[in-house]
Structure formats: structure tokens, C-alpha cells
Amino acid sequence: MSALPAHDALLSLRGLTTVFPTRHGEVRAADGVDLDVRPGECLGVVGESGSGKTVTFLSVLDLVRRPGRIEAGTIVFDGRDLRRLPPEALRAIRGRDIAMTMQDALTALNPAFTVGAQIAEVLEAHGRATGRSALDRAVQLLEQVGVPDPARRVGVYPHQLSGGLRQRAMIAAALACQPRLLIADEPTTALDVTIQAQVLDLIADMRQRLGMSVVLITHDLGIVAERCDRVVVMYAGQVVESGPTRQVIGAPAHPYTAGLLASMPRLNQTRAAIRPIEGQIPDPARLPPGCRFEPRCPRRRSECLQPVPMRDIVRAERAFGARAVRCVLAGAAP
Amino acid sequence: MTPLKLAERILQLVPVLLGIAVIAFVMMALTPGDPVEIMLGDARSTPEQRDALRHDMGLDRPPLERFFVFLGNALSGDFGLSFFHRRPVMDVILERVPATVELTLAALFIALATAIPLGVLAAVRRNGWLDRAATIGSLLGVSLPGFWFGILLIMLFAVHLQVLPVSGRIGFGQEVPPVTRLLLIDSLIAGRLDSFAAALRHLIMPALTLGLAMGAILMRVTRTAMVEALAQDYIVFAEAKGLSRARILGRHALKNALIPTVTVAAIETGSLLGGNMIVETVFGWPGLGRLVVEAIFARNYPLVQAAVLLYAATYVMLNFAADLLYTALNPRVRL
């Protein structure tokens, strides 16, 4: 991947580094993250808890909680570097151009306000509507995201809705201003399995209707395989592999991606065939000096003890999109 | 809140008040000292005079009988005569209530007006200089005794600077016709700005003494609750929606943070409505607190019992009011 922001991307991150001071020194929760989101595409961002996927996208909106801070990198959205914008200009972009939904709508919606008020205030904050007309628009939005009886639901409090409807209400608030990019952070983790597919269908449907890009943050490669055009795999704060979903899942180039795939239960597999990845994600304050996956990697070798850069993989399928991987084995025969 | 629930709450008052009545009666009965001797003084009265007064006040009857007589009368609204004033206890008490209510409301206003903005700012600028200064200030406010702080104020503003009156509620010749019996309001109704100013000048120091102490506690409560609210996911989501900082702090965080503040404010207000005995004494404030202290020293049983019952009822009603406020702040609570 080039060190320069991509011209054709809606959002382009280069070298994004977000650090948190801890007792054992600074922890780089996101460490030199490069990624692009193209107009209209659905990008999957996969990794275990603590891999830095949520921190990366909180950084995009400058919502990292202090004492955490963005240390380096560029965040170019629609040709503008968000890190150079004054706070008020960035606030105007939040919710209007870039929206974000949180993992659990129960905690993301304020318990003290009605669902309608929490949707209407987005319209008011961005000057789209006020008062009565904002509430009327909130009813329409609830209807759009498939909440039955929206005229009544607009006046209820979050705890009075079921988990699935709450998630829909949160999505309605996020999409109120028809953003060009939706960052959906683990949109199904807090939901019953039966509701998960419905919410993913809703996001796909709204993506098509609004022509927006979607970043789907998840730890579930299965969701990525079904829903995303491209995928970025993160491990211990770094991107370790990226490329078109089919190629990455069909032939993972990084042993970590391969490990994630092998540890996924499938219907046509017996229990014994599921192979979990040995070991645990490293302590972010004491990362291995070379490849961060090296201690757990079944294919490690001596070169892995040196830092490994991201490298483009040149293949015949290149026309489908760039593939890059952070592994010394890249391109070598497995 | 359904009418049924309301009735339930009022019915809950009955056992509370009954229990309080028993405790108040037993405590007064066990307190050493004889009201008759205190009233007449043993040197100047004959035993016959004392027996006559004792019989007159019903104190020659056994305690258990006295309790049931008291209870029966109280149920019909008769709390007896004040030993000292020789007038119905309730009349004596109700005369003093407005002064205490006015002082309490002023103190509550000062407390809320300082505690909420300071608590919010301290939470937002956590560990900054303002937070540290507010922490030290509230520690002082909680730990400095009222009698000391009150006297300090008197020395500074009344004695040294001579800008405020030492004691009392209003000056001579500045009285206004009673309507609400709250002097600040009555003076405005009467159109007497001089009386209003006089009442305000008398009120400032005792209200500050009580209000800053209460504000100190409320500030800590508000700060803690704000810090907790600001750490919630709904704040991140509100920021992601592009809301202004003022709206996030003033609505999303504060409405949730006010819940504990309201509880503590209700409890504190309840104790102030009983009349702050020390502050009312220091500032010569003609309120309930001073009346009750005097009644206890005089072993004025009927007055003390009636006052204690009034306190208990006030407390229960204030807690009820706090519960009602809760439901407005927190829709998850259903009464």
C-alpha cells in the first residue's frame, strides 16, 4: 500500500497511531494503521478484542477517550485531513457525513430520553429540522429501519424496546442525516442469533438506498465472508492482511488469518476439525520485537524476530484489488 | 403514579408516625428533669403549688396512660398545650415554621446554585486546578462547623465591615402584612422594597452558613455522578452524532447525574426543615430549631413530641417528593 492517501478512497488512513499511557509505558492501541474505504463499498475490519479495530475508528472521529490520544498519521476523508480540522468543523462531520453505531444499543442510547428525542437531536444539531418537524422525521426514520408502529415507538424510552428494535433505533439515529460513511462497531454482538441477520440485512439495505460506504467492525469472519467486499485483518494494533474478501478467505496469506478461518465452526465440519489458535494476544505493553504473531505462529522462523513491513502481493488476480500482507512468508509457497 | 400507589404511600406514613411517636414519648419520659420544677423553680414554690401544676398538666398520671391520652388527642389533631406558652402546641410550632422554611429554601437555592455548576465543571476538568480547588473547598465546607463559620461571617460582615445585621429576621418598622409568611415574598406583595432589602440582608448570612455546607456535599455528589455519566457509552454515541459539547454535558450527562444529587438534596432539605438549631441560635433566627431546643431544655413534652412527629412527616413527604422527581429524571424507575 502506498504511503500516500488513495485518491479514489472516501476515507484513507495512513500511519494512524493512537496511544494510551499506562503504568508500564505507552501502549499503541493502533499502530501505523493504513487502510482505505472506497465509495459505496462495505469494508470488513476483523480481529480479536484488543486488536485495535474500534480504537482505529474512534480515532477517525477523534472520539478516543483521554488520556488516549492520536500520536501520528493522516485521516483523509473526502479530500480533507480530519486531523487538521478545527474541532467545530469535525463536529459538523460527525453524524452528518460519518456516522457510527456502537456495539450495544442499550448502553449507547441515553436511558433518560425518548428514542424520538435522540433521533431528532441529530437533525437539530446539523440544522436539518427542528422541533415538531424533527420528531416527524424521526417517525419516518424509525419506519425506514423497520420499527413497527413508529408513531408510538418515537415516544418510548430505550429500555421499553426489545434488543433488536433498540439496535434499529440506534441505526436510525446514526443514519438520520444520510451520512456517506457508516462505521458499524460490532452491530450484532449484543443481539440474539435470530435477530443478527435482520440487522445485517437492514445495514445492507440502507447502504444501497443511501449509496453510502459501510465499515463493519466484527470479530466474526463468517459475517465478513457474507457481507463485505473487502476485508482488513488486524492483530495487536496492526493491519496484518487486507484485500478482497473472496481472495483473503479463499487463500489467506497471513498465518493469523488462516488461524482465524481454521478456528471457525462450520456446519460441514466435525468438532475435531476446529483448530483454535494456540496462545493469547500479546500484552500490548510488552509486544514481541518482530512480528507480533510470531509467538503463536505455527510457521515462525528466524526472520520473524525482525519487524515485518506490510507488503503488496502481486498476483494474477490483481485486477480485483490490491492485496497486502505483513508476513515474511508472503508470496512463498505454503 | 396511580392514585392507588399514592394512597399506599400515604398509608405507609401511619406505622412510621406511630413508631416515631412511641420513640419520642419514651425518650422524653426517660430524660431526667421535671418540667414542673423547671417552670416553677424549687426554691420559690410550695409543694402544693407544684402538685397543682403537675395535676393540671396531667403529669401525675402513669406514663402509659399519658401516652394513650396523647395518642388519642393527636389523632383528632389536638397535640395539647405547650407547658411553657400555655397555648396549643401546634399554634406555637406553626408560628415558627415560616422562618425556618424561608431559611431552608434560601439555603437550598445557594447550595444548588453553587453545587451543580461547580460539580459539573469539576467533573469535566477532572484533576485540573478547578477540580482540586473545588475538592478542597467542599472538604472545608463539610468539615467547618456551622457555629464557627457563622460567627466568622458575623465578625467579618456585621462587626468589622458593618454591612449586614447581626441577628433577627427583619428590622423594627419594616414588618409587612403576613400573606405567605415568607418575608421576601410578603414584602414584594406589600410593595415594600425597603422591607425586602432588610429581609434579604438578615437572611444572607444564615442562609450562606447552611447553604455552603449543604452545597459542599451536593458538589461532591454531582461531581462523582457526572464523572460516572461521562464515562458511559451514550456519551460517545452522542459525540458521534455530532452534538454540541454544551448539549452533551448539559442534557445527556447532567440529566443522569442529577439522580443522586436529588436524593441527597431531599435528605439534606429534610434535616434543614427541622430547623438548624445551631445556626438559628447563632443568628437569632426565630425558627423551629430554636423553639425545639428551648422546649427540650424546659422538658416541654407536648411541644417536643409534636415537633418530632412533624419532622418525621416532613421527612417521609420529602422522600416521596424525591421519588416523584426520580421518575421525571429516570424513566426506568416506575413507582
> What residue of B is the nearest CA neighbor of A170?
B237
At residue B207, the pLDDT reads 95
Q: Which residues of B touch A170 (CB under 8 A)?
A: 237
The three grid cell numbers given for residue B15, joined into one nine-digit string: 406505622
Span B202-233, pLDDT tens digits: 999 999 999 999 999 999 999 999 999 999 99
Q: How far is CA B246 from CA A120, A125, A190, B121, B124, in A?
A: 17, 11, 30, 12, 11
Quick check: A138 contacting B, CB < 8 Å? no
pLDDT values of chain A reduced to their tens digit, one per residue, 334 residues: 556 777 789 999 999 999 999 888 889 999 999 999 999 999 999 998 889 999 999 999 999 998 899 999 999 999 999 999 999 999 999 999 999 999 999 999 999 999 999 999 999 999 999 999 999 999 999 999 999 999 999 999 999 999 999 999 999 999 999 999 999 999 998 888 888 999 999 999 999 999 999 999 999 999 999 999 999 999 999 999 999 999 999 989 999 999 999 888 766 666 556 778 888 888 888 889 889 999 999 988 888 998 888 887 755 444 445 788 998 887 544 4
What's the pLDDT at A215?
97
Residue in chain A lying closest to B259 (CA) = A112
Domain with CATH 1.10.3720.10 in chain B: 96-292
User: Rounded mean pLDDT of chain A?
Assistant: 90
Domain B96-292: give its CATH superfamily.
MetI-like (1.10.3720.10)
Contact (CB<8Å) B240/A94 = yes
Render pLDDT for B49-105 as a digit per residue (tens, 0 to 9): 888 888 877 788 888 888 888 888 888 888 888 877 888 988 999 999 999 999 999
pLDDT tens per residue, range A151-179: 999 999 999 999 999 999 999 999 999 99
Query: Using CB atoms within 10 A of its CB, is residue B161 exposed (0-12), middle (13-18) or buried (19+)?
Result: exposed
Q: How many CB pairs under 8 A join A and B?
A: 79
Q: Contact at 8 Å (CB) between B164 and B150?
A: no
B207 burial type by CB count under 10 A (0-12 exposed, 13-18 middle, 19+ buried)? buried
The DSSP code sequence of A121-166 is: HHHHHTTS--HHHHHHHHHHHHHHTT-SSHHHHTTS-GGGS-HHHH
Given A63, A107, A173, which is nearest B239 (Cβ)? A63
Q: What is the predicted pLDDT for the residue at A2?
A: 59
Please check whether residue B114 is in contact with residue B212, taking contact to mean a CB–CB distance below 8 angstroms. yes
Chain-centroid distance of CA B153 in Å reads 21
Is the preceding peptide bond at A67 cis, omega within 30 degrees of 0? Answer: yes
Quick one: pLDDT at residue A318? Answer: 46
d(CA B51, CA B2): 54
User: Percentage of residues in chain B with pLDDT exceeding 90?
Assistant: 39
User: Residues B184, B109: contact at Cβ < 8 Å?
Assistant: no
Q: How far is CA A220 from the centre of its chain?
A: 12
Which residue type is seen at A151?
A
> Which residues of B touch chain A, with CB atoms under 8 Å apart?
232-234, 236-244, 247, 251-252, 255-256, 329-332
